[in-house]
Amino acid sequence: MLVHYVRLELLRLLRDPGYLIMTLVSPLTMYLVFSNLDLGGSASADGALYSMVGMAGFGAIGAVMTSGVSISEDKPLGWIRQLRLLPLAPSQVVVGRALCAMAAALPPIVAVCLAGGLVNDVTLSPGRWLAVFALLWLGIAPLAVLGVGFGYLLTAQKAQMAGLAVYMGLSLLGGLWFPIGKMPSWLASVSRLTPVNRYGELSWSVAGGHAPTLVGTLVLAAWAAAFTVFAVVGYRRSAQTV
């Protein structure tokens, strides 16, 4: 049943190509600009690689947050009421919508990585390219669940505001736009506690030939657990009000 539900949501998503296109424009444009500003702090190749991961992650976050807004817009249309008729547990509904949000995150990840390799000559071994791409996509799962929670718990306007705060605010604080080493030490310490910074760290580490840190992985896992609880509670409350 979960597979059929995910397929249905994906079909609904693909009927709005404008939504998918919009998730590409901002991160791709910013990458092409930022990668020429040497954000890596040393050689331009390092800056292009750092910014490639950062802007791919930035685009992925924008996609999953926009997906949350679409959920909130579905509520007045009776879609939540229809879901209650299906034999799906709240956790299955949350997982299904999160998977759809992750699917929407694929286009900006692919586009920015392609720009990195074809335009800015980012060079990685095939194994590292695969690992970077996989971690950019799989690592977005906690934030996809957060977006789902916003959609179920908030109105469309509030979900959009909350999603924008995460999209812009946490992306900036998390170091996706520039390295946290350029921040004051106290702010860098705060950044390391955010899910966005630890999300980006996964791919930055692998791109540099290192395994993701255990601490970073645990921090991201803790956020994932918290966001899952938040989303499930949001769905239950939403289902009770329709």
Q: What is the pLDDT of residues 100-113, one digit of tens each?
A: 889 889 889 999 99
At residue 72, the pLDDT reads 78
Q: What is the DSSP letter of 41?
A: S
pLDDT at 104: 85
Q: Which pLDDT belongs to residue 22?
A: 67
pLDDT value at residue 238: 76
pTM, rounded to two decimals: 0.87
* Whole-number pLDDT of residue 42: 44
Closest of 96, 32, 76 to residue 232, by C-alpha = 96
What residue ranges of the chain have pLDDT lower than 70?
1-22, 37-45, 75-88, 239-242
> In angstroms, rounded to a whole number, what is the distance separating the alpha carbons of residues 53 and 176?
8
Under a CB-based contact definition with an 8 Å cutoff, are residues 166 and 64 in contact? no
Do 137 and 56 contact (CB within 8 A), yes or no?
Answer: no
pLDDT per position as a tens digit, 74-90: 766 666 666 666 666 77
> Token match 């997982």: residue?
95
pLDDT in tens, 131-166: 999 999 999 999 999 999 998 888 888 988 999 999
Tell me if 212 sits within 8 A of 201, measured CB to CB. yes
Cα separation, 177 vs 196, whole angstroms? 11
pLDDT score recorded for residue 92: 80
pLDDT at 145: 95
As given in the structure block, the two tokens for residue 75 are 């509520």
Going from N- to C-terminal start, the domains of the chain cover: 2-240
